[in-house]
């Protein structure tokens, strides 16, 4: 069996019903579930959920933090989709939009939402992340390299 990816994400949530309802509306389907574990899939994207009850707060790592700690602080979950504009028009009816659909400087459109637990999600149009760079991507990388080189020179003078 071919692996979809070598990196899987596991979200610790206190309510599997809420997770299932929300992520189903994003197009994920339930693969399997136990009392404290849930796996959902959408095309090549897999999201795992741990907890499903107050048990999530007694996990060996996350149990160290207050229940009010913001879920996923500093983490962005990226979900690629086909026809991002159509997807956006559907999702904005039920999800909290953090940033509306827009064209980014790297040449692709995306929008940002927050799930019911506070996890930050970027929905982006599908494109190849790995492989040959297009002209816009090469220009962005070269501009960054130039800025980095200039900053290094300034830092060495001071």
112-158: per-residue pLDDT in tens?
Answer: 999 999 999 999 998 776 667 777 777 878 887 888 888 888 888 87
User: How long, in residues, is the chain?
Assistant: 158
- Each residue of 4-21: pLDDT tens digit? 567 889 999 999 999 999
Burial of 35 from C-beta contacts in 10 A (0-12 / 13-18 / 19+): exposed
Alpha helix (H) residue ranges in the chain: 16-25, 84-91, 135-157
CATH number for 1-57 (one of 3.10.180.10, 3.40.50.150, 3.30.70.1060, 1.10.238.10): it is: 3.10.180.10
- Each residue of 94-115: pLDDT tens digit? 999 999 999 988 888 999 999 9
The domain limits of the chain are 1-57
- For 44-88, the DSSP string reads TEEEEEEESSGGGGGSTTGGGS-TTSPTTTT-EEEEEESSHHHHH
Q: Are strands 120-125 and 45-51 parallel, antiparallel or unpaired?
A: unpaired
**pTM across the whole model:** 0.79
């Amino acid at each position: 069996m071919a692996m979809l990816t070598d990196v899987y994400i596991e979200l610790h949530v206190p309510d599997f019903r809420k997770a299932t309802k929300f992520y189903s509306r994003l197009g994920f389907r339930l693969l399997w579930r136990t009392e404290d574990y849930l796996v959902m899939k959408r095309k090549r994207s897999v999201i795992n959920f741990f907890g499903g009850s107050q048990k999530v707060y007694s996990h060996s790592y996350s149990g160290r933090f207050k229940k009010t700690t913001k879920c996923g602080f500093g983490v962005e979950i990226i979900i690629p989709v086909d026809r991002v504009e159509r997807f956006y028009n559907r999702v904005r009816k039920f999800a909290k939009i953090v940033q509306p659909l827009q064209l980014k400087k790297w040449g692709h459109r995306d929008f940002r939402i927050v799930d019911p637990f506070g996890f930050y999600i970027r929905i982006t149009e599908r494109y190849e992340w790995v492989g040959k760079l297009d002209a816009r991507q090469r220009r962005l990388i070269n501009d960054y390299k130039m800025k980095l080189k200039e900053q290094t020179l300034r830092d060495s003078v001071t």
